Structure 1
Amino acid sequence: MKLFWIVTFILAACGGGSLDVPTSEIINDDAIVEVPSTGQPAPFASESNLEEPAPVEKKIRKSGNISFQSQDLDKDYAQIKGLLPRYKAYIENENQSNDQYRRNYQLSIRVEGAYFDSLLNAISALAWRIEYKTANIDDVTAQYYDFKTRIENKNALEQRYRELLTKANEIKDILEIEKNINEVRTDIEMMQGQFNYLSSQIQYSSLNVTFYEELPYAVNSAQKKGFGNRILNALSNGWNGMLTILVGFVTIWPFYLIGFGIFLLIRFLRKKVNKNP
């Protein structure tokens, strides 16, 4: 009986000991791993040193067309020329043509890309009646940097060939390297020409301007003034047409001689056949 009470007392003591563990000791492990919000560890060096790639500058090629009717052709032409210095533009080509109905101007203008829209709007403001207006924007960024990279690579390849040329001793090797250098140089010059042309189109946009002035009715329709004049014009045109036909007949006189000669020859041969049946 005593043994039973001793065992019971020991078990109670052990159980109570486990329950009497201080709360601070239980939380202690969590406190070790807890990190204050103000003391977060610094990010990895590889993440902090990562740099975003520099933005690529876009390369835009612009072109446009505008056609309009003018009330005063010479005045509008002078005003357009006066606008060009303000917008860093110049006339690359111009053509003037006249007929009995209208006078025309065709201008090919090159303008710095940044001023393209402003110049197009300024010319539009001068127009009396716009017939059509277009503006095209072509993103040639990929093409531009592709040309640039290929040219740089070709230049580097040429440089390596030239370094090898200084170290070559045998004639065969020298000739082979020089051949490769010439091929690379040809490729560079071809690509450089295309690159320069593309760069020029990017820097200076193209704007085609066409404008015309209708001539007055009295100038371009004189033959429509009245019935009598129209009759006289018809008679004059008929007489001129007949003269043209007569001149045409006279022009082919050698064929008349040839035909007459053939006729005489056939007649002679027939007579000869009839005499000798």
Structure 2
Amino acid sequence: MMIRTLITSLLVFVLFACGGSSMESAESMPSSYGEADMKMADDYDMAAPQAAEDPMPSPEAMPQREAKIIYTAGARARVENLDTALVKVADLVNKSGGYIASQHRRNNNYEHTAEMQIRLPAEALGATLEFLPSISVQIDFQNLDSRDVTEEWLDLESRLQTKRDVRDRYIEILRNRAQKVEDILNAEEKIRVITEEIEAKEGRLRYLRDQVSMSTFILELYETQEYRETGDTYRRSFGSQVLAALSDGWRIVKELVLMVITIWPLLIIGGLGVWWYRRRKRK
């Protein structure tokens, strides 16, 4: 009986001991989680102002490269008076800051025509096309073409900068590091080749810059005319025809004489052949 009482007391004591340790660990868990949450919150609060100070740039805020476009226009129009229309076009071109690169006129029985190649600032091309109907009676056709050279432009600029940097490095080597004559000659040759490449690309870039800034306008203006028959063609008299025939005959005689003089070796060979043939026939 006493042994059963001792065993019961030990079981009760173990149960109470386990329950107390469980309650202590349960009370300690919220404390550890709370400290971790506070640390994470502090880290977030410290990082938030930094993110606010360095925001990611939006696509609209990023720098945009201007498109490089070459514009070419063409038109053909009928005008009431060609000379008056040409004066108006020349005045407009001068006011726009452009110039007439070439101008050709031709006339026939039906119309008088003038064809011009005009170079205009790109921003003035639209106004010129809008001005055309004011001097025209009829516009036969009008077109506008564009070519985007932005990619080629940027590629040339990038390659130019790279080649300039390489040339500068070779110049630095030539000035400070080259000691032998062979090294000096090699550096000078490299500099010469790179300089030629730079000049070629600079020339291409200047051409593109000119084509982008100044548009080309091919304009043909014409004025219709009432059909007029041409006068009678000139006819030679009988005497002039006789003189021309005599001249032609004398020219033929001279050509025959010159031909005989030219083939004299053949005549000699032929004569010798005939003489030999006749002599043999007699024998």
Same fold at TM > 0.5:
yes
Partner of 2:147 in structure 1?
138
- Taking a change above 3 Å as real, the CA distance of residues 50 and 246 of structure 1, as seen in their structure-2 partners, is farther
Partner of 2:182 in structure 1?
172
Q: What's the offset of the Cα at 1:93? A: 1.7
Aligned partners of 2:49, 2:246: CA distance in 1, in Å?
Answer: 104
Counterpart among 194, 211, 214 of residue 204 in structure 1? 214
Q: Does 1:188 align with 2:195?
A: no
- CA deviations on 1:93-130 (whole Å, 9 max, x unpaired) are 22222233321111111111112111111123322111
Counterpart among 199, 207, 214 of residue 224 in structure 2? 214
- CA deviations on 1:219-259 (whole Å, 9 max, x unpaired) are x4235xxxxxxxxx7xx55x83898x958755532464379
Structure 1 gaps, min length 5? 19-24, 224-232, 263-268, 270-275
TM-score by length of 1: 0.69
- CA deviations on 1:41-94 (whole Å, 9 max, x unpaired) are 517659936546421111111110011111110111111112123322221222
Quick one: which amino acid aligns to residue 240 of structure 1? R
Q: Does 1:114 align with 2:110?
A: no
Aligned partners of 1:127, 1:140: CA distance in 2, in Å?
Answer: 33
Counterpart among 235, 240, 259 of residue 235 in structure 2? 240
Aligned partners of 1:55, 1:80: CA distance in 2, in Å?
Answer: 37
- Taking a change above 3 Å as real, the CA distance of residues 46 and 249 of structure 1, as seen in their structure-2 partners, is farther
Partner of 2:249 in structure 1?
253
Q: What's the offset of the Cα at 1:155? A: 1.4
Q: Does 1:57 align with 2:66?
A: yes
Percent of residue pairs identical: 21
Q: 3-state SS of the aligned residue for 1:122?
A: helix
- CA deviations on 1:136-169 (whole Å, 9 max, x unpaired) are 1111111111111111211111111111111211
Quick one: which amino acid aligns to residue 166 of structure 2? L
**How many residue pairs are counted as aligned between the two chains?**
245
Aligned partners of 1:186, 1:175: CA distance in 2, in Å?
Answer: 17
Partner of 2:267 in structure 1?
none
- Taking a change above 3 Å as real, the CA distance of residues 160 and 58 of structure 1, as seen in their structure-2 partners, is same
Partner of 1:22 in structure 2?
none
Aligned partners of 1:47, 1:85: CA distance in 2, in Å?
Answer: 54
- Taking a change above 3 Å as real, the CA distance of residues 260 and 139 of structure 1, as seen in their structure-2 partners, is closer
Query: What's the Cα RMSD here?
Result: 4.2
Larger Cα-atom Rg: 2
Deviates more, 1:84-93 or 1:140-149: 84-93
Partner of 1:42 in structure 2?
48
Counterpart among 77, 91, 94 of residue 82 in structure 1? 91
Q: What's the offset of the Cα at 1:196? A: 0.4
TM-score by length of 2: 0.67
Structure 2 gaps, min length 5? 23-28, 260-270, 272-280
Aligned partners of 1:56, 1:95: CA distance in 2, in Å?
Answer: 40
- Taking a change above 3 Å as real, the CA distance of residues 99 and 169 of structure 1, as seen in their structure-2 partners, is same
- Taking a change above 3 Å as real, the CA distance of residues 170 and 79 of structure 1, as seen in their structure-2 partners, is same
- Taking a change above 3 Å as real, the CA distance of residues 242 and 65 of structure 1, as seen in their structure-2 partners, is farther
Q: Does 1:92 align with 2:88?
A: no
Superposition pairs of residues 21-36 of structure 1, within 5 angstroms? 33=37
Q: Does 1:155 align with 2:126?
A: no
Quick one: which amino acid aligns to residue 111 of structure 2? R
